[in-house]
């Protein structure tokens, strides 16, 4: 079985835009992300992105535009991400268990990659990112202050590099245990 770090995309890997991030020209990778991914990869973790992309269902952007952003992300991060799972659904169009806080994307990854949930982590910036991970027994790290009780992370950090150091066990100084 493999250990894994599940990652939300917007707000964790790239700057979040409330009007959606779907153009490569506006897809800004957060400083420190490539290094953080490298540290987690070096520690033996699979890296799997689990992201809601409801703008597709709402016809704000196309799957191709999203794919181009993911290609850019992979190239900028030296192809360290093992897989990107996304949910294109929005409840105003159609419901799906793949949309977080549903857990189906996680379950697909766990089955496909033979993931040991007890040795795995989820890093997200919203409660909806952490709810399915907690349901499945995956440890959670929240970035920032957007999560709300009772759905807070097991730990809170300021950025992905701090999360990588926490996971790698190199520092607890910048993490708050919640």
Query: Hey, which residues are catalytic here?
Result: 8, 10
On the CB side of 17, CA atoms within 13 Å amount to: 14
- Asked if residues 128 and 142 have their Cβ atoms less than 8 Å apart, the reply is no
Per-residue tokens: 107: 């379950």
CA nearest neighbour of 11 among 138, 146, 154:
146
Residue 68 bridge partners (DSSP) = none
């Amino acid at each position: 079985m493999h250990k894994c770090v599940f990652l939300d995309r917007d707000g964790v890997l790239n700057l979040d835009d409330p009007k959606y991030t779907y153009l490569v020209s506006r897809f800004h990778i957060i400083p420190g992300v490539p290094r953080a991914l490298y540290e987690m990869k070096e520690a033996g973790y699979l890296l799997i992105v689990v992201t809601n992309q409801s703008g597709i269902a709402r016809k704000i952007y196309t799957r191709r535009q999203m794919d181009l952003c993911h290609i850019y992300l992979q190239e900028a991060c030296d192809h360290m991400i093992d897989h990107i799972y996304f949910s294109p659904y929005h409840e105003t169009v159609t419901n799906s268990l793949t949309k977080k806080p549903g857990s189906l994307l996680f379950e697909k990854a766990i089955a496909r990659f033979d993931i040991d949930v007890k040795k795995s982590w989820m890093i997200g910036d919203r409660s909806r990112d952490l709810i399915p991970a907690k349901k499945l027994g995956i440890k959670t790290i929240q970035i920032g202050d957007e999560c709300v009780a009772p759905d807070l992370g097991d730990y809170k950090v300021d950025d992905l590099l701090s999360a990588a150091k926490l996971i790698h066990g190199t520092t607890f100084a910048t993490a708050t245990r919640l």
